Amino acid sequence: MANKTTKKHFELFKKECQFWIDILNLNNYEINFSHESCEFYGEKIFAMTSRTYNSRYIDIIFSDTFHDKEPTDELIKRYAQHEVFEVLLNDMWILASARSWDEDQWDAAGHDLIHRLQYMSKKLMEMK
């Protein structure tokens, strides 16, 4: 069942992204936010980060549809945090694509790091 995301959902997503951008001091990037259909290799996803090789310009896309989940505030904040963590890893991914490493393995390692950072930040927020 598809659930359309609203302008209110998108504003929450952008606000949460900006919170993490500020916390991680990632203000040296030009970040553009959009609210549109979101697919990666034909798979419908909730959000994504698009970057250009050797650039400080990044697009963060928030899907206009959550295809199998209700767009709760908690879930939206989690996806926003995830996308900003991808910005954090931008240089690592650029380097990986310029080397002879297996990109799928590098991508998996990057997402593993993101999930660990999310776990860590959740615990830190709970301690407040």
* DSSP track, 54-105: T-SEEEEEEESEESSS---HHHHHHHHHHHHHHHHTHHHHHHHHHSSS-HHH
Q: What is the architecture, at CATH level 2, of domain 3-127?
A: 2-Layer Sandwich (3.30)
Residue 101: the pLDDT is: 64
Q: What is the pLDDT of residues 66-87, one digit of tens each?
A: 877 888 999 999 999 999 999 8
**pTM of the shown model:** 0.77
- DSSP helix/strand/coil, 35: strand
pLDDT tops 70 at residue 114: yes
Tell me which residue of 42, 58, 40 sits closest to 50, measured CA to CA.
58
Check residues 42 and 117 and name the one with the higher pLDDT.
Answer: 117
Per-domain residue ranges of the chain: 3-127
Give the tens place of pLDDT for each residue, 5-37: 899 999 999 999 999 888 888 888 899 999 988
Label residue 60 by pLDDT band (50, 70, 90). very high
Q: How far is CA 123 from the centre of its chain?
A: 19
From the list 19, 125, 121, the residue with the least C-alpha distance to 80 is 19
Long-range contacts (CB closer than 8 Å, 24 or more residues apart) made by 110-115: 110/86, 113/85, 113/89, 114/82, 114/85, 114/86, 114/89
Residue 110 three-state SS:
helix
Give per-residue pLDDT as tens, 49-58.
988 766 789 9
| Res 64 pLDDT > 80 | yes
